[in-house]
A and B are shown apart, each in its own frame.
Chain A
Amino acid sequence: GAGVSQSPSNKVTEKGKDVELRCDPISGHTALYWYRQSLGQGLEFLIYFQGNSAPDKSGLPSDRFSAERTGGSVSTLTIQRTQQEDSAVYLCASSLVDGWGKTQYFGPGTRLLVL
């Protein structure tokens, strides 16, 4: 079956512009995560959605970052007034929530470059 998809695969923008990143999770997966990975670094948790519950936004680095998930499926991560330090790969992952078995499957990522 289809895996997690993300778009765009690459995005170049100018400092101060807004960007939207999209994630389509695996069908039937109720949990969705956004991460950020800077060059040579580990994964930084941003936000987590689970079904109809309030999202866990504790990882969002500033109020310029927001995310929504419509219909329990597609998610959009929005970065307003982008800064050069926002340049990174933004990864989306989805999982079934089956007790402790929260195995995450990652999308290919969106590589964001802020000039």
Chain B
Amino acid sequence: QKEVEQNSGPLSVPEGAIASLNCTYSDRGSQSFFWYRQYSGKSPELIMFIYSNGDKEDGRFTAQLNKASQYVSLLIRDSQPSDSATYLCAVNSGANTGNQFYFGTGTSLTVIP
């Protein structure tokens, strides 16, 4: 069983719409959760991280975490063509259980003008 799972997509949304990206993880003890954006041929760049259950908003981005369901999502409001990229979900179990980050395989998002 994969540690972190994401739908590979591709996910296509029209410009201005909300894009919803989902991620599930297997380790119930996971403590911190990250969303990275990766443009084709580039390295991943951090969008945001979340530790606590609930929503965390940063500009057009909202991360949602539900530890009971082992589910983390990323919402992108008012999607722009420049948001077209692969979005990677990463999970860290915390210092007590190791320092590995487990990455999903990513969801490819295309925002159509």
Contacts and interface: CB of A to CB of B under 8 A. Distances in A.
Given A43-B88, A48-B99, A56-B98, A106 B43 contact: yes
A69 B101 CA distance: 19
Interface residues of A, number: 25
Instruction: Classify chain B: how many residues form its interface, as a range.
Output: 20 to 34
Given A56-B98, A100-B51, A100-B92, A42 B103 contact: yes
Contacts of A103: 34, 46, 49
Contact of B103 (A43, A100, A109): A43
Interface of B: 31-32, 34, 42-46, 49, 51, 88, 90, 92, 94-95, 98-106
11 contacts: A42-B105, A58-B100, A59-B100, A91-B43, A91-B44, A97-B95, A99-B95, A102-B92, A103-B34, A104-B90, A108-B42
